[in-house]
Amino acid sequence: MSFFTPQSNIYKSDDLFLIDVFLPGVAPENLQVDVKNQILTVQASRKRGAQELTYKRDFRLNRNIDADAIEGKLENGRLQIKLPLANQQRKILIHAA
Amino acid sequence: MGLFPFHPLRSNRFQPSSNQITENETSYTIELDAVGVAPDNISVNATENELHISAEATSLAHDLTLIHREHLSTGLNQKFRFRNSIDADHIEAELHNGLLSLKVPKKEARRIAVTVKTQALEVSETHETALEI
């Protein structure tokens, strides 16, 4: 089965990565975004007449990304995914004996 | 592995654009990627057999550092020339979820009346040829 690979632009700041995935014609209810084993998967579909078109793309995530804090927003065909970086430094709590 | 944290995995058939033009007996249908384009920024100009669609993309840029670009986000600037004359007054356009769809009706072909002048044919005696086998 053939599918379209949606064009994507990637941005970065000190705290996060941001991916714009371009999905023209896609409504929010036909979009699915999953993260598993450091891979972010975007799957979407839309109708073209009687035909159903599929968009699909995988992104391998850098291990500094906090997978639990990933959030996305789809508006007018643009999916914006924010991927915050995990705090580099973690405070380690030492229990008194 | 360098600064690029993402490794977009490629499909076997990398098809980045779903823009399409189709044609049937009565009309052309055009679908264009118009993500980032506001409806009031689109202008569609049509003549007898040409269509010009232009639109500015409102800023899709971020304050962040761009590290990988695939979508140019330059808006639209497309010209189409059609084999058939088009009915410019009845073009339908719709912008939905960042997809611009246009239905461009063909102008009905003018019926040209053709008359055939008949000519009287002269008939002469027929000659029968006997076939010998």
Helix (H, G, I), strand (E, B) or coil at B69: coil
Q: Which residues of B touch A19 (CB under 8 A)?
A: 6
Q: How far apart are CA A78 and CA A25, in angstroms?
A: 10
Contact between B35 and A26 using a beta-carbon 8 Å cutoff: no
Question: For residue B51, which amino acid is it?
Answer: L
Per-residue b/e over A43-77, b at no fewer than 16 CB within 10 Å? ebbbeeeeeebebbbbbebbeebeeeebebebebb
Write the CB contacts of B17 (distance below 8 Å, at least 6 apart in sequence).
A4, A7, B33
Judge whether A29 and A43 are in contact, CB under 8 Å.
no
The pLDDT confidence band at residue B6, using thresholds 50, 70 and 90, is low
Nearest residue on chain B to A9, alpha-carbon basis: B69
Contact between A11 and B99 using a beta-carbon 8 Å cutoff: no
Q: How far is CA B40 from the centre of its chain?
A: 22
Contact between B73 and A9 using a beta-carbon 8 Å cutoff: yes
Best mutation site among A1, A2, A3, A8 for testing chain B: the one with the most B CBs within 10 Å?
A: A8
Between A and B, how many residue pairs show a Cβ–Cβ distance under 8 A?
A: 115
Contact between A18 and B13 using a beta-carbon 8 Å cutoff: no
What percent of chain B lies above the pLDDT cut of 70?
A: 78
pLDDT of B84: 86
pLDDT of B17: 74
| Complex-level ipTM | 0.84
The whole model's pTM is what? 0.78
Each residue's pLDDT tens digit, B21-80: 999 999 999 999 999 998 888 999 999 899 999 998 887 778 899 999 999 888 899 999
Q: Does B33 touch chain A (CB under 8 A)?
A: yes
Q: How far apart are CA A33 and CA B44, in angstroms?
A: 35
Q: Does A15 touch chain B (CB under 8 A)?
A: no
In Å, how far is B43's CA from the nearest CA of chain A? 18
Each residue's pLDDT tens digit, A18-76: 999 999 999 999 999 999 999 999 999 999 988 899 999 999 998 899 999 999 999 99
Nearest Cβ partner for A4 among B15, B34, B97: B15
Nearest residue on chain B to A19, alpha-carbon basis: B68
Q: Does A54 touch chain B (CB under 8 A)?
A: no
Helix (H, G, I), strand (E, B) or coil at A59: strand
